[in-house]
Structure 1
Amino acid sequence: MIARQVRPEADRPQRCFVVGPIGDPYAAHGSPEREAYEHHLGIFEQVIAPACEKYEITAVRADGIAHAGDINEQICRHVIESDLVIADVSGGNPNVMYELGLRHITGKPTIHIGEAGRLPFDIASIRTIRYQRARSHLVGARREIEGALEVGLRDGFELLTPARVLRGLQTVTEPSSSAQSGNVENVNDEDPPGLLDNFAAIEDGLGEMDSEIEAITKTMETIGALTGRANAEVADLTEANAPASAHLAAVLRYAKSLSTPAGELDKVAAVFAERMATLDSGVRAALGLVEVTPPDKRGEGAKEFLEQLMDLDESAQTCLSQITFFGESAGGMLRVSRHLREPVKDISAAVKRMASAIACMGEWAGKARVLAQGTAE
């Protein structure tokens, strides 16, 4: 049986903060950013706001926050403090997933909606109201939200897994009077993971990323050694006034030797980037969990998690500087011979994958450093 958060009549939700992609209202007509803005504004005005109004709940989006101040801080405050959150998870927008992770750990009512066919797989197990862009489907989605609100207001909203983890943690650290007297009652038939279990699961993924960075570094060392030998051979040929055909033969040998490690470099970089995308929402949610937990209550698991993020970022930045050098050198290789085109293509693709993934990792580490300083203080 899933635990429910039952609200008394006097504590009915009055404010609903809507989390979801916003788009850009000032972008050019027809651009993806402008279309995203129009679409999600339509979902808000035609689906979410009317459903909330039926139960006298005021709905607001991030672009409807009237108060001046730091918009990121205001959004986080609304996510954490609002009576109700409705989250449009279409497309798995990273900002939306981060805000959703913060919301889940509060244990407060949250309703998921999303466009059919665009739901992120990593939250597929959570009940989500699906909609399609056709007007008739939007009406159906609005009615489903109304139904979810009616059931939640009447029977209580379900606690999602992170909130149940925290609730279970509180039960362990702060036993009830009945438990202290020996009358222990099992109020939850599920066996949800504990806080350390969640950290451990993420840390396993981060450990794999560390291994992938090591593999990428070794592959670049191999490419570097091959390049060094090729340069030495070309230098000897030049000194010996060898004909162009001899130089071309040397380049062909170099291209052939480079083909396998260059392909491997791109392959490992692709796995690294994919793992980054898979872990991103979980890591951000875990960082949010650490953030809302008082420093003296975090324990060693949280400390080790933050340290792992910072250490991993240091390794990644070193790797990035090396692979960026290879990327800059790759352009020069193309001017030497067309036979180098395929390995250079693989190296360039790996550079792009790694640069994007490591930039995201830098955001994790930046947040981890701030939180680690709070723990040290």
Structure 2
Amino acid sequence: MITSQTLRQESDQPLRCFVVGPIGDSHAAHGSPEREAYEHHLRVFEQVIVPACEKYDISTLRADGIAHAGDINEQICRYVVESDLVVADVSGGNPNVMYELGLRHITGKPTIHIGEVGQLPFDIASIRTIHYERTGSHLAGARKEIESALEAGLREGFELLTPARVLRGLQAGVGPDPASETDEGGKREDEDSPGLLDDFAVIEDGLAEMDADMEAITKTIETIGALTEQSSTEMGDLSQANAPASAQLAAVARYAETISAPASELNTVAAAFAERMVTLDSGVRAALGLIEMTPPDERGEGTEEFLEQLMSLDEAAQEGLAQIGSFGTSAVGMLRVSRYLRKPVKEISGAVKQLTSAISRMGEWAAKARALAHGTTA
């Protein structure tokens, strides 16, 4: 629990709020999506967030207001980590915003989520978010909700969010101090709340499940490959024997039937893999960000194992993607052979698309993990 007294105990300066969210492009052409995004989010900042914070003497800043010279990415990370309060506009699930949000969650410091109705990412749906619409009345309502959240938080304390407390245990290597979670009577505030190692286990379990998904994907690809090889042999024999088109069509129909089930399974497992990726992405990126900001000699024992796990998983995923990508290209050509192949080829193509997107994110994890493991900059 973080109270107003906790926030102010290290300084008599006004509390600082850093605003995380989409910014758009102020230099884009009028009427362009980038310019409209800039004007919309500037309006939310100026009409909703700033006045709500000013009511409690909290200063506000967003990335385009940073005046100091230097590496903007490093500066943003420092503001995200060090600011007393962060208000995050999660509209649209912008990848940079989700990364910064995950990094913020690990600090355990107060964070308020807001988001435009219909634009909220599902992977943080369990976290309370103040919803707004673009009309003046709805923006005014959102401002009042932020004011209420601030009033309650400053008076009663801000609750530590669960989603990415993950890996705070890397620094300590142990669970939380039980004494720090008791009230004046010595009773624990929440005996059922997960500890730091519980949170770390969430990511470990998720990565293990993704590893299992990759094994299933590899086996299914091998099955489809073996069936394809058998069919190719049969089709070659029929062609050499000058078999009629009807006989060749029957062989294609049998092939389509045999790969139908594994193709469907491949698409299902690929979808599960991609969904897990979305769920874990912000947490893993935040964990990597925390590791990067922690001196090597202060990192916990689990850090090296975590980085190795990310690199190993990426290697397996890249091998699987190479296999399925090659087969997916061949499968598209099969569509011209017969209508019987349309459904299984559609399943395979869907799996290729989902895996390609998911594995590209995993490659980014691994690149950062390698850089951290070898003491270089990604």
Same fold per TM (> 0.5)? yes
Who is 1:190 aligned against? 190
Matches within 5 A, 1:7-156: 7-8=7-8, 11-25=12-26, 33-116=34-117, 118-153=119-154
Aligned partners of 1:87 and 1:289: how far apart in 2?
19
SS of 2:23 mapped into structure 1: coil
Who is 1:305 aligned against? 306
Residue 29 of structure 1 and its aligned partner are, at CA, apart by 6.1
Aligned partners of 1:292 and 1:186: how far apart in 2?
35
Aligned partners of 1:281 and 1:164: how far apart in 2?
11
Matches within 5 A, 1:226-237: 226-237=227-238
Who is 1:4 aligned against? 3
Give the counterpart letter for 1:189 in structure 2. Answer: E
Structure 1 residues 241 and 32, CA, compared in 2 at 3 Å: closer, same or farther?
same
Who is 1:292 aligned against? 293
Aligned partners of 1:170 and 1:265: how far apart in 2?
41
Task: Identify unmatched segments of 5+ residues in structure 1.
Answer: none
Matches within 5 A, 1:322-341: 322-341=323-342
Residue 127 of structure 1 and its aligned partner are, at CA, apart by 4.0
Contact 1:16/1:85 (CA < 8 Å) preserved in 2? yes
Aligned partners of 2:242 and 2:326: how far apart in 1?
30
Task: Identify unmatched segments of 5+ residues in structure 2.
Answer: none
Structure 1 residues 254 and 142, CA, compared in 2 at 3 Å: closer, same or farther?
same
Contact 1:4/1:156 (CA < 8 Å) preserved in 2? yes
Q: Percent of aligned pairs with the same residue?
A: 70
Q: Summarize deviations over 1:282-307 as a string: whole Å, max 9, x none.
A: 22232233333333333332222221
Contact 1:5/1:159 (CA < 8 Å) preserved in 2? no
Residue 43 of structure 1 and its aligned partner are, at CA, apart by 0.9
Q: Summarize deviations over 1:47-74 as a string: whole Å, max 9, x none.
A: 1122234444442222333344433222
Aligned partners of 2:294 and 2:84: how far apart in 1?
20
Give the counterpart letter for 1:363 in structure 2. Answer: E
Matches within 5 A, 1:259-298: 259-298=260-299
Residue 75 of structure 1 and its aligned partner are, at CA, apart by 1.6
Q: Summarize deviations over 1:307-356 as a string: whole Å, max 9, x none.
A: 11111111001001111101111221122222211111111111000000
Who is 1:208 aligned against? 209
SS of 1:108 mapped into structure 2: coil
TM-score using structure 1 length: 0.85
Structure 1 residues 28 and 265, CA, compared in 2 at 3 Å: closer, same or farther?
farther
Structure 1 residues 46 and 254, CA, compared in 2 at 3 Å: closer, same or farther?
same
Give the counterpart letter for 2:323 in structure 1. Answer: Q
Give the counterpart letter for 1:88 in structure 2. Answer: D
Aligned partners of 2:196 and 2:250: how far apart in 1?
60
Q: Summarize deviations over 1:150-183 as a string: whole Å, max 9, x none.
A: 455566544445669959x86979989x99xxxx
Q: Which moved more, 1:361-370 or 1:24-33?
A: 24-33
Give the counterpart letter for 2:40 in structure 1. Answer: H
Aligned partners of 2:23 and 2:142: how far apart in 1?
19
Contact 1:101/1:288 (CA < 8 Å) preserved in 2? no
Q: Summarize deviations over 1:96-118 as a string: whole Å, max 9, x none.
A: 22211212233433322223454
Q: How many residues are aligned here?
A: 369
SS of 1:302 mapped into structure 2: helix
Q: Summarize deviations over 1:212-270 as a string: whole Å, max 9, x none.
A: 11111111111111111111111112222222222222222212222221111111111
Who is 1:363 aligned against? 364
Structure 1 residues 352 and 163, CA, compared in 2 at 3 Å: closer, same or farther?
closer
Aligned partners of 1:146 and 1:250: how far apart in 2?
69
Contact 2:167/2:200 (CA < 8 Å) preserved in 1? no
Structure 1 residues 252 and 25, CA, compared in 2 at 3 Å: closer, same or farther?
farther
Contact 1:13/1:84 (CA < 8 Å) preserved in 2? no
Aligned partners of 1:193 and 1:148: how far apart in 2?
24
SS of 1:309 mapped into structure 2: helix
Q: Which moved more, 1:62-71 or 1:307-316?
A: 62-71
Contact 2:165/2:196 (CA < 8 Å) preserved in 1? no
Aligned partners of 1:26 and 1:335: how far apart in 2?
48
Aligned partners of 2:287 and 2:322: how far apart in 1?
28
Residue 3 of structure 1 and its aligned partner are, at CA, apart by 4.7
Who is 2:225 aligned against? 224
Over the residues paired in the alignment, what is the CA RMSD in angstroms? Answer: 3.3
Matches within 5 A, 1:149-188: 149-153=150-154, 157-161=158-162, 186=186, 188=188
Q: Which moved more, 1:124-133 or 1:260-269?
A: 124-133
Aligned partners of 1:304 and 1:13: how far apart in 2?
41
TM-score using structure 2 length: 0.85
Aligned partners of 2:247 and 2:150: how far apart in 1?
77
Aligned partners of 1:164 and 1:344: how far apart in 2?
40
Q: Summarize deviations over 1:75-102 as a string: whole Å, max 9, x none.
A: 2122123333211123433322221121
Aligned partners of 1:164 and 1:156: how far apart in 2?
21
Contact 2:307/2:373 (CA < 8 Å) preserved in 1? yes
